[in-house]
Structure 1
Amino acid sequence: MKKVSVIAAAVAATLAAGSAFAVDFNGYFRAGTGISGNGNGDMSVNKNGVGRLGNENDNYYEIGLAEDLKTGDQTWRIESMIAQGNNGSVGWEDGDFNVAQFAVKAKGLIASDKDATMWAGKTYYQRKDIHISDFYFLNTSGTGGGIENLSIGDQKLSLALIQDGDYKVQDADGKDTKVDSSTGYIFDARLANIGLWEDAALELALAYNFATESNDQKEKADDGVLVTAIVQQGLSNGFNQTVLQYGTKGYGVQAANFWGAGAYYARGTEAFNDASGFRLLNWGVVNLAQDWEMGHQLAYLSGSDIGGQKSGSSLYTGKQFDIDQYSVVVRPMYKWNDTMRTVFEAGYNAGERIADGGVAKEDFGNAKFTVAQAWAMGDSWWARPELRVYGTYHLDTENDKVFDGDDTEFVFGIQAEAWW
């Protein structure tokens, strides 16, 4: 006689008693291809600074499954998500699949505060992004736990502890990797729903990044702080959001740049211990007329004593420098009917890096213009799935040989994007 697992039977009985197996299937994907004029294939150039429409050369997939298990006044939600990305160059591609989310979130455990949610596991933790540039200006996602939406009067308090990487040291011969020298963590505190004026609310966030040490190894990087204030303004024809962020140490590097949002540039190095930076962002989506909608991004970013240089410029590698930059992106959309639309996107990002007391200076900048003919399931600016055919013109304003001996490039492409 076949023996039934006691654990499996208990799990099945619990699920059957608390749920009708109404699994929440959710996800996101984008996929497409492009042909460039200079033989560069499909291309993506600084999409966080100049916009993502017609400026993505990768395929990216997220598949999520979630289940709500109810018992009395409590709701136990199990969330899971698998994510994977590749360049879409062939029909069958090998690649690592990442368990992006797998967490338990329980609501109703506090009798006096039914909306408070306790959680533990791995999750996308209250991420904040600008859609048209795919820029996550606040992202402390990872493995940890905490409590969300705890009522403090009319405000909602969220507290979390999330692991944030590690740094490994090697033996003198460089062959054997020892146990972690340090492990990073983020203490994340947020206070939301702070009323301001009519249809406006303020959210405050504090991310404190610190590390523990092991093997008698001292962590070279100092602890850093990222402070965020978000003002959400509801409008009769859309919304507008203004964001002010200030970061120190490894978060200072992040705040002064578009690349690596969410990353703490610090583990195992002293290069960023003097860094500080801030950014001022404004973005939103509005109805301009019956058939027109528009999204936009305005950004100013600045930092001082930033160590290293991601672009590989020999002038700044290994040195500290100051940086100032700004970005303007607009995406107007004309709706021909409930399904077909024409979408335009123009973006410009420029700035300068200054090192050696102002003696060494490097300017940088690029622009992009895209026209896309698209078809979507609905007439909203946010309506997805969407099929689009596009043409994109790229211009590098400071390097006349960046595109195989030219400063311009044109890409023709087709893409699908969906979320559900």
Structure 2
Amino acid sequence: MKNFKLLPVSIAVAATLASASSFAADDVASLEQRIQELEAKVVTLDYVDDQQQSALTSETPAPLGIVFSGYARYGAAYQEGDSKYVSVGSTGAAVGRLGNEMNGGEFQLGKVFETESGQKWNVAVMLDHWSGEGWGNGLALKKFYAGASNIFESQPDLYVWAGRDFHQRPQQGLNDYFWMSHDGQGGGFQNFDFGGAKFDLGFVGQVNGEYDDENGNYAITSKLHSIDAGIGNLDLYANYGFTSEKVDSSETAFLLGATLGLGSSNKLVMKYGDGADNSVFELAGDKQVVYVSLEGGVNPSDKVFIDYLASYKDISGKDATEASEYSAIVRPMYNWDDTHSTWLEAGVGMVDYADDGEDQAWKVTLSQNISMGGLPWSRPMLRFYATVGDVESKGTNVPTTNVDTLTLGAMFEAWW
């Protein structure tokens, strides 16, 4: 969501002109000064689409008007094979997301305010729409929250919030995997500065689909971040899940995680869950999950970019389907100019079950792209692509099955 575009200042100017029948010379000069003040407030906010919870700092500008932002991808895919998508395991699009994504989008309206004393406030509402199995259908109220920063002199960037919001959902790119997610409604704070590290703390209730109230599952979430580890930035996560008396269960869960930057363009991700995989809301009983991944990219020349991701997950416990999962994805990209690019994404994935069963998958997608900027992260982007792949499942006393994919598609993707 880069470069939010705001409502034009002409609306405010027109309203001013309509409110007066005539102007003296002094009135015209006063009006011109007012217009300049309004134009000065029409600014462009820079925001990176990392799917994290929103937060203001003491330096965030307070632009005039409503900020419209979002993320969306929609298109058509002609399916020739057994399946339109190649799916294996539980780590998102484990064989790669390019040409392997369902339609949907998130659409947000927000407003930033600034008081005379310098406090920064924001209010935002988001509706989302995702289609396909596993996503649900129709519009949903994903966000409705308010927050403020610069409310404590000793902690100007401390952001205090309450409401419904994205919450602690670190995401990986090539596999479109939220390896942790605690979206819900509650409250907390972000960016308490210890000097050398910042701390976030939240209390969040899980919301069931179309229902507007919590379902009785709760999480206490925390994050210690922005730690300079020498070789890169270090972030630490610790979360605890539990229930209220509304739920007939005494299950609890905890989930720990860490990300470590390795130089400027590589990252190591690690997590351990007890009673949880991606969220302590799961309260999954005797289930333990270990996940490790390495991701990043290299830029051999001005026109060539290569992104990669490799991951391993181990799932164990008497309440779990015990298995080990492996995934590797590579995406070389060539930018012909500032508009056209060609991408090739190849991925393999395997699930090795404890009962000797096994799933093996592969996928290759070739995509010709038109974008506003030509770089890998430039959006909006139009994609015209072809995807081929296969998932083979086999096991003891189980017939071997193959699900093949051959898909031709056209899709746009944008964040703004």
Provide the TM-score with structure 1 as the length reference.
Answer: 0.76
Partner residue in 2 for 1:10: none
The within-5 A match list for 1:1-80 is 21-38=64-81, 42-43=84-85, 45-46=87-88, 48-56=93-101, 58-71=102-115, 72-80=117-125
In the alignment, does 2:183 pair up with 1:154? no
Partner residue in 2 for 1:264: 281
In the alignment, does 2:287 pair up with 1:275? yes
Q: Deviations over 1:55-79 (max 9, x none)?
A: 12x3201111111110022000112
Partner residue in 1 for 2:299: 287
Q: 2:238 aligns with which of 176, 190, 206?
A: 206
Residue 367 of structure 1 contacts residue 397 of structure 1 at CA under 8 Å; is this kept in 2? Answer: no
Residue 165 of structure 1 contacts residue 185 of structure 1 at CA under 8 Å; is this kept in 2? Answer: no
Distance of 2:86 and 2:67 partners within structure 1: 33
Partner residue in 2 for 1:241: 267
Partner residue in 2 for 1:130: 172
Residue 369 of structure 1 contacts residue 393 of structure 1 at CA under 8 Å; is this kept in 2? Answer: yes
Distance of 2:197 and 2:240 partners within structure 1: 21
Partner residue in 1 for 2:15: none
In the alignment, does 2:131 pair up with 1:86? yes
| CA gap 1:201/1:150 in 2 versus in 1, 3 angstroms | same
Compare the two structures and name the one with the higher strand fraction.
1
Partner residue in 2 for 1:352: 352
Q: Deviations over 1:313-335 (max 9, x none)?
A: xxxxxxx5421111001111011
Residue 93 of structure 2 contacts residue 100 of structure 2 at CA under 8 Å; is this kept in 1? Answer: no
Distance of 2:159 and 2:144 partners within structure 1: 16
In the alignment, does 2:410 pair up with 1:384? no
Q: Deviations over 1:117-156 (max 9, x none)?
A: 0000011124210122110112112101001000112210
Give the RMSD, CA atoms, in angstroms: 2.6
Distance of 1:265 and 1:125 partners within structure 2: 15
Residue 337 of structure 2 contacts residue 374 of structure 2 at CA under 8 Å; is this kept in 1? Answer: yes
Distance of 1:388 and 1:322 partners within structure 2: 38
Partner residue in 2 for 1:409: 405
Tell me the percent identity: 26
Residue 276 of structure 1 contacts residue 306 of structure 1 at CA under 8 Å; is this kept in 2? Answer: no
Alpha-carbon distance, 1:34 to partner: 1.3
Letter in 2 for 1:223: T
Partner residue in 1 for 2:219: 186
Residue 287 of structure 1 contacts residue 293 of structure 1 at CA under 8 Å; is this kept in 2? Answer: yes
Distance of 2:229 and 2:69 partners within structure 1: 34
Q: Deviations over 1:228-257 (max 9, x none)?
A: 01102343xxx11111100001x1xx2xxx
Distance of 1:324 and 1:245 partners within structure 2: 15
Residue 253 of structure 2 contacts residue 280 of structure 2 at CA under 8 Å; is this kept in 1? Answer: no
Unaligned runs of 5+ in 2: 1-37, 39-60, 396-400
| CA gap 1:264/1:48 in 2 versus in 1, 3 angstroms | farther
| CA gap 1:208/1:189 in 2 versus in 1, 3 angstroms | same
Letter in 2 for 1:68: V
Provide the TM-score with structure 2 as the length reference.
Answer: 0.77
Letter in 2 for 1:264: F
Alpha-carbon distance, 1:87 to partner: 5.1
In the alignment, does 2:361 pair up with 1:361? no
Residue 162 of structure 2 contacts residue 187 of structure 2 at CA under 8 Å; is this kept in 1? Answer: yes
- Provide the aligned length of Structure 1 versus Structure 2: 343
Greater relative contact order (Cα < 8 A, sep 6+):
2
Paired residue secondary structure (2:281): coil
| CA gap 1:86/1:387 in 2 versus in 1, 3 angstroms | same
Letter in 2 for 1:245: K
Distance of 1:25 and 1:147 partners within structure 2: 24
Q: Which moved more, 1:331-340 or 1:79-88?
A: 79-88
Letter in 1 for 2:268: T
Distance of 2:241 and 2:132 partners within structure 1: 32
Letter in 2 for 1:154: G
Residue 112 of structure 2 contacts residue 120 of structure 2 at CA under 8 Å; is this kept in 1? Answer: yes
Unaligned runs of 5+ in 1: 1-15, 89-93, 167-178, 255-260, 267-271, 308-319, 355-359
In the alignment, does 2:381 pair up with 1:398? no
Alpha-carbon distance, 1:373 to partner: 0.6
Alpha-carbon distance, 1:86 to partner: 2.6
Alpha-carbon distance, 1:407 to partner: 4.3
Distance of 1:149 and 1:206 partners within structure 2: 16
Partner residue in 1 for 2:182: 140
Distance of 1:302 and 1:20 partners within structure 2: 47
Paired residue secondary structure (1:213): coil
